[in-house]
Amino acid sequence: MVLRPNQKLLLALTQTFASITGFINLLSFHRKGKQIYAVVVRSRVSFLEVDRMDKAEVLARILQSEDTSTVLGGQCPASVIKSRKCVPVTAKAQGGELGFLDEAIRTALTGQTRNVVLVGSEGVGKTTALHKLVADWAKGDCLQNFAHVFHFQFRRMGSIADELCLETLIQKSLHQIPAESAGLVTEKPDAVLFVLDGLDEHKHSLDPSAHSLTSDPRQPVSVSCLLASLLHGSLLKGAAFLVASRPTANLKFLKGTQVEVLGFQKPQRELYFNTFFTEPAAANRALEHMETTLGFYDFCASPRFCWTVCSIYKCLIDSAAKLPETLSQLFIDILVHLIQSLSLTKACSRGLLLALGKMASHCLHDPHACCSKDILDSCGFQQQLTTLGSFLKVHDEKEFSFHSQLMQEFVLAVAFFLDASTYEDVEKMLGNHKGCTKLLDFFMSGLSEPVQYRSLEELLGIFSSDQIKGFKSWFKSSSEKKLKDYNKSEHYRCFHLLHQVQNESLVKEILTPPAHPCIFHENLSLADCAALNYVITCLGEREKLSLSRTTISKEIMEVLLPSVRLSHTVMLSNCSIHIESIPLLASAVCMGATRELVLSHSNLGDEKAQVLFTGLRRAKLHRLNLNVCELTASCCGDLVSMLTSETSQLQILELMFNPISDQGFMTLCEAMHSPNCRLQELQLGNCDLTEASMEAFAAALCSGESRLRKIELKDNEIGDRGVEALCKALQQPNGKLQSLGLFDTCLTGVCCSHLMKVLMSEHCSLSELDLSLNDLGQEGALLLCQGLNRPNCPIEILGLTRCKLTQTVFQELGSVLKNGTCQIKSLLLAINKVGDQGVKYILEAVAHPSCLLEELSLEMTTLTDACVEDLCAALRANNTLKLLELRNNSLTDAAVPPIVQVMKEKHNMKELNLKYNDFSEDALLILDECPNIRY
């Protein structure tokens, strides 16, 4: 007998170790029809030596596998592994940070973890990562703590109908080791790693309670029971497992470290495109187009999808053709490319697409479904199966499935417009595949316009005019209905479909501007933003763009730039704004129609704010809302530079709930000394201010340059001395402040003498004063009333909620309201417990013909039914009052009939609020008779 070279090597190894190990068995077995000899040495040392040859064979099998790269299927694992420019895939370990998938797997398996589960969507690189890991192990580069690594696919294992034991399973692995060796493997389970790919393709449950788990490696059981026994530690306890899967119900039965496979993040996409294209300009153009124009759908992070995009874009760029505007157009280009590569007649191409459509419909109902040759024949395939490699994967030469679910859905959409006899109705089509598809309606929308499907008609024949007409009718009616309901998810979907259609006139027809002046959205993805931007640009200049709870990355801002420019008000409240997006936002605001920018409750912070203020120096903003943006004094200098720029038009600045402190406010006051500063309203509630900054503010008001008319200082510790400094400025001719908010600013009656002087001054311009939630007391409030009693005192809005007022103060306020020159239209007296007698003075004033009150709050003033007669008399006599607050008092059912009667008579009364009084259910029914009573 003549020994082949590899047999000679095995025999030499056998002889070398014979003296050490003693007993040797020579065993022959067959693989693929060729007799191969292997030596099994009954010792651990000799087995490891033979295992080295097994590693070489594993590596050879992986690296020598046939390159079956297709436009849809992606680059084959062997090609990726052999590439010197292999682009790493991003992953996120459980509870950890982002990193590379290879490193995450190796780190997990070299630690205490014995089970690692990779979870990711279609085409994100799970299978390639497993192949590369096994290849690296075989080369000795990693995981050398494992003597044996067995690589299986769930799909292939699921096709095994017979029962088998663990040792047989090991023999059926790619290593094809003999039975004696399989037995040795089971002796040291902690040196064994099972690599299992495609759990989502396993049709059976791995719930341990559904199986009689086995612990005997020689006991034949079903494949599902065998897998469940292995994965749950009953069989070969101590072995390690690396499982890869798309999201599936079986994942809940697996224990271990879960690693989320994210595919290509931004840096990896850039590297991949630069690797694919030889020209950097082409790479940059292709990547930018995919991320911005296509809308960067979630699957753009998929290496497989990037391969598809690069392959098609390269063809288009090389032929100087236009790149696709939408996802539908991309798949039209892909389909055109694939059909042209098959060189079929128009009739054969049409037949092929109709058959693929039937197969797609069949497979979409079962995520694990593959089609047998019989099913393919029933679908109408007439070409040789070898021509289908561009569209289908072949499993064990007997089952077929689509390379991509996206293409699967796309060919079904094409078939819909080609075959009116099979797919008669749009709603039935979508209903029959509900829950099975993600983008079928996207593709149908994109294929409904002649400008988009014309290139397909040249290859497949005419699209059905009835199908096109039926779809357009359905699309218009369903879109109008969804938009009226204002269901956010349905809104988003409608915008996505309109984006795919690419018909500006249709957008204007469906989204009539008067019916939809504003579009409010939250939690938008980049794809949502792309669709929204398309809709807004079709509609043109608009009143408001509002996004909330959205991460504003640089990519998202790049997509939204046209929408920002077209919107008068841009609201990005409760958004997480990346610093890279700030210059883009500022530039769009400067160049567009934006007059109001709202960034409240964002995570802005000083660093981002400084970039924003620098970018907004040329803006024509009238209002900037930065409430609750984590700003401090550090950014106020840049804010002043923006406010004092020659082109500044900012009139309203809101900085509430930012700890800018006295230092920040004093810096801000410097802007009011500049003739360029146009600020008229400043909101500084809860900004950690004290009396220390009031001198600087007073100086700014008296500078002669200040245009400030309104300031809100509530919830700051201004104190009496702070108000004293402020009052000196308000008595000066240059002090033109009209509204002063001092709600809850630690004031007492001491400040009222200074406020009285202001009100008595001929230079007083205050029309609004809010002193609520300050302990003014009777003495202080009476001083205030003296100032209010001055003829032609300009105060129109006065807030005295919870100021410890007494009946005497209410009596004096009543006199003020009746003096004939009082201008007060809004008076807030809530939470002053003066009772019926105190309120009586106010009600008498309401009945007086000189009273101009339009709004009155008497909430929580301890009113009872005893006040009802005076209340009704006052309401009947008054013709100016519109809003009356009587919440949280002690009115009972007896008060209801007379109040309802007078409210029915008084048409000037817009609202009477009686909430939280002592009414029974019967009384509430009576109150229900009057629509302008709230209860």
- In this predicted structure, what is the pLDDT of residue 449? 92
The structure's pTM equals 0.79
Average pLDDT (263-292) is: 90
pLDDT one-digit tens code per residue, 800-854:
999 999 999 999 999 999 999 999 999 999 999 999 999 999 999 999 999 999 9
For 902-915, the DSSP string reads HHHH-SS--EEE-T
Asked if residue 67 has pLDDT above 70, the reply is: no
Q: How confident is the model at residue 386 (pLDDT cuts 50, 70, 90)?
A: low
Q: Percent of the chain beyond pLDDT 90? A: 61
> What strand order describes the sheet that includes 399-402?
371-372, 399-402, 392-395
pLDDT one-digit tens code per residue, 95-104:
778 899 988 8
Are the C-beta atoms of 76 and 69 separated by less than 8 Å? yes
Element of type H or E holding 204: none
Are the C-beta atoms of 599 and 557 separated by less than 8 Å? no
| Ranges 39-53, 458-472, 591-605, 712-726: which has the least confidence | 39-53
pLDDT one-digit tens code per residue, 652-700:
999 999 999 999 999 999 999 999 999 999 999 999 999 999 999 999 9
- In this predicted structure, what is the pLDDT of residue 717? 98
Average pLDDT (430-458) is: 92
Q: Which two tokens stand for residue 848?
A: 């007086």
pLDDT one-digit tens code per residue, 305-315:
999 999 999 99
Are the C-beta atoms of 131 and 78 separated by less than 8 Å? yes
Triad 455, 457, 462: Cα angle to 5°: 155
Beta-ladder partners of 712: 683, 741
Q: Which residue has the higher pLDDT, 899 or 734?
A: 899
- In this predicted structure, what is the pLDDT of residue 17? 32
Asked if residue 316 has pLDDT above 80, the reply is: yes
Q: Residue 294, Cα to own-chain centre: how many angstroms?
A: 18
Q: Which residue has the higher pLDDT, 75 or 607?
A: 607
pLDDT one-digit tens code per residue, 532-556:
999 999 999 989 999 999 999 998 9
CA atoms of 780 and 597, how far apart (whole Å): 41
Q: Do the bridges between strand 240-245 and strand 115-119 make them parallel or antiparallel, or are there none, so unpaired?
A: parallel
- In this predicted structure, what is the pLDDT of residue 158? 66
Asked if residue 636 has pLDDT above 90, the reply is: yes
Asked if residue 743 has pLDDT above 90, the reply is: yes
Average pLDDT (363-382) is: 78
- In this predicted structure, what is the pLDDT of residue 921? 95
Average pLDDT (871-899) is: 97
Instruction: Give the three-class secondary structure for 785.
Output: helix
- In this predicted structure, what is the pLDDT of residue 57? 77
Are the C-beta atoms of 200 and 367 separated by less than 8 Å? yes
The type of residue at 905 is E
pLDDT one-digit tens code per residue, 707-742:
999 999 999 999 999 999 999 999 999 888 999 999
Q: How confident is the model at residue 112 (pLDDT cuts 50, 70, 90)?
A: confident
Are the C-beta atoms of 261 and 91 separated by less than 8 Å? yes
pLDDT one-digit tens code per residue, 744-757:
999 999 999 999 99
Q: Identify the structural domains of the chain with CATH numbers, from first to last.
A: 1-42 (no CATH), 58-263 (3.40.50.300), 324-489 (no CATH), 747-935 (3.80.10.10)
Asked if residue 5 has pLDDT above 60, the reply is: no
pLDDT one-digit tens code per residue, 139-190:
888 888 888 888 888 877 766 767 888 888 777 664 455 556 666 677 888 8
Triad 485, 490, 493: Cα angle to 5°: 145
- In this predicted structure, what is the pLDDT of residue 86? 83
Which letter does DSSP use for residue 274 in this model?
Answer: H
Q: How confident is the model at residue 518 (pLDDT cuts 50, 70, 90)?
A: low
Cite the DSSP H helix spans in 540-604: 554-566, 582-591
Asked if residue 283 has pLDDT above 50, the reply is: yes
- In this predicted structure, what is the pLDDT of residue 24? 26
CA atoms of 626 and 139, how far apart (whole Å): 58
The chain-wide mean pLDDT, for the chain, equals 87
Average pLDDT (207-219) is: 90
* Greatest CA separation for the chain: 129
- In this predicted structure, what is the pLDDT of residue 34? 29
Q: How confident is the model at residue 863 (pLDDT cuts 50, 70, 90)?
A: very high
Q: Which residue has the higher pLDDT, 846 or 1?
A: 846
Instruction: Give the three-class secondary structure for 567.
Output: strand
CA atoms of 928 and 889, how far apart (whole Å): 19
CA atoms of 691 and 702, how far apart (whole Å): 17
